[in-house]
Amino acid sequence: MAIVGDLDRARPTAVKLLGRRLVLWYDSAASRWTAMEDRCPHRLAPLSEGRIEPSTGHLMCSYHGWQFDGSGTCTAIPQIRDPRAKASAMGSKRSCVTSYPVKEEQGLLWVWADPASKEAAESAPTSAVPEGRDPEGWTPRTGG
């Protein structure tokens, strides 16, 4: 999906996976890369245009300030003042963003297209260079 060295841990990045718009971002609270649907459930604004909130490490929508953790759970809705109403709204499935399994290996970020495939993603081999092989001795080839 992406070369980790090309990504900025301080900013979300818009990508497409099989026609789906996703946002890649570094969840500093969990110390891991995250992939989520690139739309806020509130007003469908692109989350890739948001920012990483320094105080929480969560992704903040630029439109109304909703925040999401790496699992897609809504962690902040600044417009709601009442604590009970806020807890109810943030706990609703309609306030969540679909997150996708991610695996970082050999400097590459792999994203699985099925949000429900976390176990498969964790056990799937992803190595671009087989373990124990020396990539220095390889000769790159292109089509033609």
How far is the C-alpha of 41 from the C-alpha of 35, rounded, in Å? Answer: 15
Q: Provide the strand spans (E) within 28-138.
A: 32-37, 51-52, 59-60, 67-68, 74-76, 99-100, 102-105, 108-111
Per-residue pLDDT tens over the stretch 14-57: 999 999 999 999 998 899 999 999 999 998 899 999 999 999 99
Where residue 129 falls among pLDDT bands split at 50, 70, 90?
Answer: low
Fold for the domain defined by 2-120:
Rieske Iron-sulfur Protein (2.102.10)
- The 10 Å CB-count burial string (b at 16+, else e) for 34-55 is bbbbbbbbbeebbbbebebbee
Is 131 exposed, middle or buried, given 0-12, 13-18 or 19+ CB atoms closer than 10 A? exposed
